[in-house]
Structure 1
Amino acid sequence: MQQQFLRLTTLAILALMAAHPVLAADTAPAPAAAADPAASYVTVSEATRSEIVSNIPVSGTLVPREEVLVNAQISGYAIEEINVDIGETVAEGDVLAVINDSTLAAQLAQANSELARANAAVSQARNQIASTSSALSEAQAQLERTEQLKDSGNTTQALLDQSKSAAAAARAAASSAEDGLSIAQAQVAQAQSQRDLADLNLSRTRIKAPVSGVISARNAKIGAIVAASGEPLFRIVRDGEIELEAEVIETALGLIDVGDPVHAAVAGHQADKLDGKVRLISPTVDQTTRLGVIRVSLDTGSMLRAGTFASATVEVDRHDGITVPSSAVVTASDGQTVQVVKDGTVERRDVRAGILTEDGRREIVSGLEAGETVITRAGAFFRNGDKVQIVASSSDTAPASVPSAPKEEAAPLGTPAEGAAQ
């Protein structure tokens, strides 16, 4: 009974609409607007001119720029005092440690005594020379008088021979005295050398800092016997300066120059980035790893710790250029292209792409001008002359409104739009 009632009601309504066509026209839904079946919805971006920075990523370890080894310069004596420890700052000339000097002090005293004895021998030799010189002068004068007397017949040959013998003996004594002085002077020089060595060794019992800096290692211990050929007693980082030692692949090493700016991130350091410059580039590459080494001096290098890991970027180039989103560049076997949109039509454009920037944009070296619009997604699916409709721009703050499509299946981006429901 209920079904029969519903059927009758429906027939009555249809009859009423047939009797009043104007009413039917007013209540029927309007047909959907027809869409261009050849158009595709696309997301685009504008080619922009901006500053392009080319960076090379590197990583490595913080190391002392210059580490100075402090060794003992004497052997066989015990350390009796240590004045510094690891991490302390020292100035050039500061006493780091003291070695027991009692034996060396005694050696210096003995050397001073030997030097005094040698000086006394020199004085004695000089006195001997003076004495023999006087005797030689007298003997020579006596010989001359005797020879004159012999010539005049007033003396005998025996007295003349005696005078000659006396003069010869005086000359021999004078020569011996001269030799004695030379020997005594040589002994003074030797004693002086021994005294200087003893004094030097005594001074070496005070281990001093050869440079200003920070103590990075201490091997010295109270009571330890030092050896000149042993391990260093201390290590000092000159001026406390720490720098980055980083490895670079050989293909990138040639792009880096001394003085290039560097931005580093150091593990555990409160600053987000530390600025620096390339100080040194290794002239060789490891034949096994194919890596080269660079040294980077960092600002506030004295506040860093050696051995810490750090990553960095080396800025090798900075210039103005045109960029587009990297997704807009299509790379194929025959080269690189972008799809330029002009008046709703696609133009396939050959380009030469450059570097990829940190914000994900690709440099276009040639083939595109600033201000031109390119498809940023699915560009490989379009050909010259294709019709497109822009639905969004990657530079817009909000996407442009998308043409309406049936609610049950929205038209996907980058594909032809479906026509309205018939």
Structure 2
Amino acid sequence: MPSSTTPKVIAGLVAGGLLIGGLFALGLLPRLTRQQELLAAANEAASETSTVTLTQPTRAAVPAPLRLPGNIQALQETVINARSEGYLRRRLVDIGDRVRSGQLLAEIDTPELDQQVSELRSTVAQARADLQQQQANLSLARTTFERWRTLREERAVSQQDVDERESAYRAQMATVEARRANLRARQADLDRQVALQNFKQVRAPFSGIVTARNVDTGALIAAGSSQSGLFRVAKTERLRIFIDVPQTFAPAIRPGQSARIFVQEYPRPFEGRVTRTAGALDPAARTLRTEVQLDNRDGRLLPGMYAQVEIAGRQVSPPLTIPANTLLVRTGSTQVAVVGTDHVVRFRRVGLGRDLGETIEVVSGLTGNERLVVNPGDDIAEGKKVEVTPTRA
């Protein structure tokens, strides 16, 4: 019985092994086949040569004039604050009024300051009277000392008596100097308060136009500076505009250069001139702060207007320009695909300047002799060999 069972067990194990092997082959072979197909497709794609269209950077022979935006500002503008505390007694001007230098704008009622000035005047008068009394005592002490010194020469009094009179005279001299110093201190306090009292009258620091009025009669006025102030006065006969010139144009900007100012509300540009530059670039923006001034005696322009400034200066070395459709933005940087003489693609990082629409300025990364791929797709990879069509200018 045991001898007949053993062949059956062996046959069952063999049959099970064959079944398991068949199932394994049925699951593994399709996967191996798909991997071989994917590998073959990848090799075919890698070996496949893409056809690309190339272009080259160009450099404009005559660069366009530099035009930059800016805000028109008054050549001189200030906020007028109160220096004395009190209540506004009256105001004499309002927004839009033209004022002359030194013209009275408002008056402040300062009862506390007036009382302090009155008290200080009394203190000064008392200190002056005290000084005069001590000066009279000094004159008497000097006369007494001189008489006792004469008596000593005649041997009518002792040297001790003369020394006592001299000591009293010198002590009185010190008292007079102390009273004189006290009078100077009281007079300085009075002068300071009187100077503050003079600020009760608010006057225009220069000729101009009142562009803001922030107080009215009866308002409580606090001494010191504030952002709004009592009035704002601007000198508008001459205006200025600050512009930020890019680094590529900065070496060509000089004081005295002519400029044209374009304002949307007027058909013709206004003539201006570069008056000064910062002399150094802003390290964050790589721009040169430049001031342009223009005449406005006719009052046509208003501070705060938006304008565009065109400077006739030229770039020392005009940058290259490339079509916008050659750019690639990958790994956080702007690149272009450059094709060498061996028809192999290599990516190159570039620095950009102004966006001119269909073209963009390149300020770094290219020399001008490169061949760039137009509309590079995802199939363009580093080190890939490509076929090129005739180069476009």
* TM-score, normalised with respect to structure 2: 0.58
Q: Quote the offset at 1:65 in angstroms.
A: 2.2
| Residue identity matched to 2:234 | V
Number of the residue aligned with 1:139:
148
Which structure: larger Rg?
A: 1
Q: Quote the offset at 1:86 in angstroms.
A: 2.5
Q: Percent same amino acid among aligned pairs?
A: 21
Q: 1:315 aligns with which of 312, 317, 331?
A: 312
Q: Quote the offset at 1:56 in angstroms.
A: 1.7
Number of the residue aligned with 1:127:
136
Give distance in 1, aligned partners of 2:295 and 2:151: 91
Confirm or deny that 1:208 pairs with 2:203.
yes
Q: Quote the offset at 1:53 in angstroms.
A: 9.7
Deviations 1:337-362 (A, max 9, x none): xxxxxxxxxxxxxxxxxxxxxxxxxx
Confirm or deny that 1:246 pairs with 2:243.
yes
| Residue identity matched to 2:171 | S
Number of the residue aligned with 2:353:
none
Confirm or deny that 1:297 pairs with 2:297.
no
Q: Quote the offset at 1:54 in angstroms.
A: 5.9
Secondary structure (helix, strand or coil) at the match of 2:121 reads helix
CA contact (8 A) 1:247 1:292 kept: yes
Secondary structure (helix, strand or coil) at the match of 1:285 reads strand
Aligned ranges for residues 34-183 of structure 1 at < 5 Å? 55-74=65-84, 76-146=85-155, 163-183=158-178
Secondary structure (helix, strand or coil) at the match of 2:197 reads helix
Give distance in 2, aligned partners of 1:73 and 1:194: 16
Deviates most, 121-130 or 76-85: 76-85
Give distance in 1, aligned partners of 2:67 and 2:154: 105
Q: Quote the offset at 1:221 in angstroms.
A: 4.1
**Structure 1 unaligned blocks of 5 or more:** 1-51, 148-159, 318-332, 334-379, 381-422
Give distance in 1, aligned partners of 2:269 and 2:276: 21
Q: Quote the offset at 1:304 in angstroms.
A: 1.4
**Structure 2 unaligned blocks of 5 or more:** 1-61, 315-337, 339-389
Number of the residue aligned with 1:266:
263
| Cα separation, partners in 2 of 1:119 and 1:250, compared to 1, 3 Å | same
Number of the residue aligned with 1:277:
273
Q: Quote the offset at 1:239 in angstroms.
A: 5.0
Secondary structure (helix, strand or coil) at the match of 2:302 reads coil
Q: 1:227 aligns with which of 217, 223, 230?
A: 223
Give distance in 2, aligned partners of 1:83 and 1:90: 10
| Residue identity matched to 2:176 | L
Q: Quote the offset at 1:182 in angstroms.
A: 0.8
Aligned ranges for residues 366-377 of structure 1 at < 5 Å? none
| Cα separation, partners in 2 of 1:239 and 1:272, compared to 1, 3 Å | closer
| Cα separation, partners in 2 of 1:241 and 1:145, compared to 1, 3 Å | same
Q: Quote the offset at 1:207 in angstroms.
A: 1.4
Q: Quote the offset at 1:188 in angstroms.
A: 1.6
Number of the residue aligned with 1:364:
none
Confirm or deny that 1:193 pairs with 2:197.
no
Secondary structure (helix, strand or coil) at the match of 2:248 reads helix
CA contact (8 A) 1:108 1:199 kept: yes
Give distance in 2, aligned partners of 1:127 and 1:299: 67
Q: Quote the offset at 1:117 in angstroms.
A: 1.5
Q: Number of residues paired by the alignment?
A: 253
CA contact (8 A) 1:54 1:316 kept: no
| Cα separation, partners in 2 of 1:294 and 1:98, compared to 1, 3 Å | same
| Residue identity matched to 2:66 | I
Give distance in 1, aligned partners of 2:138 and 2:211: 62
| Cα separation, partners in 2 of 1:201 and 1:243, compared to 1, 3 Å | same
Give distance in 2, aligned partners of 1:241 and 1:310: 15
| Cα separation, partners in 2 of 1:216 and 1:241, compared to 1, 3 Å | farther
Give distance in 1, aligned partners of 2:209 and 2:286: 34
Give distance in 1, aligned partners of 2:312 and 2:150: 96
- RCO greater where, 1 or 2, for CA within 8 Å and sep 6 or more? 1
Number of the residue aligned with 1:184:
179
| Residue identity matched to 2:213 | R
Give distance in 2, aligned partners of 1:272 and 1:239: 20
Give distance in 1, aligned partners of 2:127 and 2:153: 39
Deviations 1:350-384 (A, max 9, x none): xxxxxxxxxxxxxxxxxxxxxxxxxxxxxx9xxxx
